[in-house]
Chains A and B, each alone.
Chain A
């Protein structure tokens, strides 16, 4: 029996154990669930050690510590995190956390502002004239597309602005309703895409069971 066959049978049995949750919560499902969590954590640990700690920290320091003296800084910051185990000395580990969160926040805010927010705002400043967007029907279609984009963006922003007011005028109510409608459509699209994603997962498992395991699909 080859390792591939053993792996296929193990995967098929584990898949059926997970499917048994349809009947009810049971020990087989729990076993498969715990196996998944345990192996995932173990695998992530091995990858972190083999792909990060050893090649990027331990080996360079062991082979040429003087040439790689700067690596003592991340080593020291990493060791400080072990103080988080102690209640009275956990504040020592805050130095490393502050460094991690500071660098992460700086990169995330800078990147988000210059690469997501500003380009997306700039992309909503569009022409609504069909003549600018192309000849005939294509220009009209593009103009309608742009109109939807502008109305949706402004309505959504207005919705969050006007929710703080208790009394709204008629134009405010119209814009408020439009914004709420766009938000509902967006949430519906998100939910539908999530359902499609999960359906793909079910489909892949059924393909595996019927094809790779039982050989019913060529």
Chain B
């Protein structure tokens, strides 16, 4: 029996050698190597650059080894300075520390960490300054004698420049402590501490002055870049190309020829006798409703004129509402009766399995209509509708190629049903092979397909007006693409 690795997060047993937990995805391997300080990725120890983000893993000046340190030490011992206690004038250790501490507290401002502390001011650092290790390149510290010639005012402005304005929001608000309590808890310093506290107070006052000064006014917005201006030219060109034909009321119509797919679609519907049973699938959502609703309206008007009984279903949750909108705009307006001449059966859940249930009739038995929520058998149109075998024609209005493929694969070919399809423009390339193989006998594509159908039936609608504007918009896009390529090749620098 193979050994297992237990997940440290969820406790699931995983096979030996697994890198991640099968259940929760947690990492099972021990994290080894050098951890990147930027992204946290673990790298092999020999790498100097993180393999994930490219950050440097080792400092540019590596910690010195023994061979590298020998020479600088020799140099430093040959030229003694005031920084090196062991090489300076032989004095006692306590005396040296006291002298250095006095010089620091008198001349050198205390560190930032000290005077921005939250509660207690730490005593000044009395230890001698640490000297740079051999191999590191640092500026030499001034000696106590040299510090005497450096006035405090010359040091402070440098710190002033380093503190950004606006830090007052980041800093915690100082807590107010009653005077008596403060003195009891923090007795007033004396001697060396008093000197340090005085220097700290001075620094705190300076800090307060800096952080409370008025913020600089924000700069004006940058002027638009040439790329941004180009974007606006494109937006305006497309908007003008669409809006002007819309406002012209169809006078700029470029004309629409009838495609063979639209003609055969019309022929299939036109051949239906009165009282034929038609199942129409509204498989689209609002993202493609601009193309699909005009198609649905044109087809439903034609079906109403043919006197067909129309049953509507949808494979998308948003489809029933859009289908109801199309039915209201067409069949309801022209006096057809809901439940007698047409019915919206709503959403078909389950994808492939739902369509198989629809084909075998079990869908109808438990269905309730979208508008009133009553059972399918309650309506007069249900007479004769027990399964897809009773349907004379299936009209699929598919916003995506997947929905059309589902109908063809699960309904048309297995049950040999006659089917026509209207698709959005983006699904058109995938629908063409089904038309060529005669698995669907008619095809409408996008807004152009809707306009074609309006033209065939002689009932012009919004699609006919919109397709003219769309043609001008497409022409504008093509022109912009040509111009963009032209400008690109002209502006390209020769190698």
Contact = CB atoms under 8 A, between A and B. Distances in A.
B426 A55 contact: no
B249 A200 contact: no
Interface string A183-214: 00010011001111101111111110011000
Interface stretch (B166-174, B193-201, B240-248, B482-490): B240-248
A40, A114, A115, A186: residue with the most chain B Cβ atoms closer than 10 Å: A115
B425 interface: yes
Contacts of A199: 238, 242, 470, 473-474, 477
Nearest to B23: A90
A22 interface: yes
B408 A194 contact: no
B409 A44 contact: no
A50 interface: yes
Interface string B415-458: 00000000011101100010011010000001100000000000
A107 B410 contact: yes
A176 B31 CA distance: 45
Contacts of A217: 246-247, 249, 465
B317 A103 contact: no
Contacts of A31: none
**Chain B interface secondary structure, helix, strand, loop or mixed?**
helix
Interface in A152-208: 186, 189-190, 193-197, 199-207
Contacts of A104: 351-353
Contacts of B317: 43-44, 47-48
B23 A115 contact: no
A196 B462 CA distance: 17
B366 A55 contact: yes
Interface string B395-421: 000000000011011101110000000
B23, B288, B321, B409: residue with the most chain A Cβ atoms closer than 10 Å: B409
A7 B430 CA distance: 36
A196 B474 contact: yes
A139 interface: no
A91 B366 contact: no
Contact of B291 (A52, A111, A200, A210): A200
Nearest to A117: B409
B346 A195 contact: no
Given A51-B320, A197-B291, A201-B290, A103 B428 contact: no
A29 to B, nearest CB: 15
A78 to B, nearest CB: 12
A203 B368 contact: no
A218 B249 contact: yes
B290 A204 contact: yes
Interface in B96-154: none
A60 B317 CA distance: 22
Interface residues of B, number: 62
B287 interface: yes
Contacts of A193: 425-426, 428-429, 446
Given A115-B413, A119-B413, A48 B349 contact: yes
B11 interface: yes
Contacts of B11: 88
B414 A111 contact: yes
A107 B290 contact: no
A30 interface: no
A114 B414 contact: yes
A207 B462 contact: yes
Contacts of A90: 23
A203 B347 contact: no
**Chain A interface secondary structure, helix, strand, loop or mixed?**
helix
A64 interface: no
Given A51-B370, A107-B410, A123-B436, A197 B426 contact: yes
B370 A200 contact: no
A190, A196, A210: residue with the most chain B Cβ atoms closer than 10 Å: A196
A116 interface: yes
A210 B243 CA distance: 9
Given A119-B439, A123-B436, A203-B290, A195 B477 contact: yes
Contacts of A119: 413, 437, 439
Contacts of B409: 108, 111-112, 114-116
A189 B353 CA distance: 32
Given A193-B428, A197-B425, A107 B352 contact: yes
Contacts of A107: 352-353, 356, 410
Interface in A45-79: 47-48, 50-52, 55-56, 60
A55 B367 contact: yes
Nearest to A87: B10
B318 interface: yes
A123 to B, nearest CB: 4
A45 to B, nearest CB: 9
B235 to A, nearest CB: 6
B375, B406, B473: residue with the most chain A Cβ atoms closer than 10 Å: B473
A98 interface: no
Nearest to A111: B409
Contacts of B462: 207
Given A107-B352, A112-B405, A206-B242, 8 more contacts: A51-B368, A87-B23, A91-B23, A123-B433, A199-B242, A200-B446, A203-B469, A206-B469
11 contacts: A43-B318, A48-B317, A51-B320, A51-B368, A88-B11, A120-B437, A196-B470, A200-B470, A203-B246, A204-B466, A210-B243
Interface of A: 22, 40, 43-44, 47-48, 50-52, 55-56, 60, 87-88, 90-91, 103-104, 107-108, 111-112, 114-116, 119-120, 122-123, 186, 189-190, 193-197, 199-207, 210-211, 216-218
The 8 closest A-B pairs by CB, nearest first: A111-B409, A204-B290, A115-B413, A107-B352, A115-B409, A44-B317, A197-B426, A123-B437
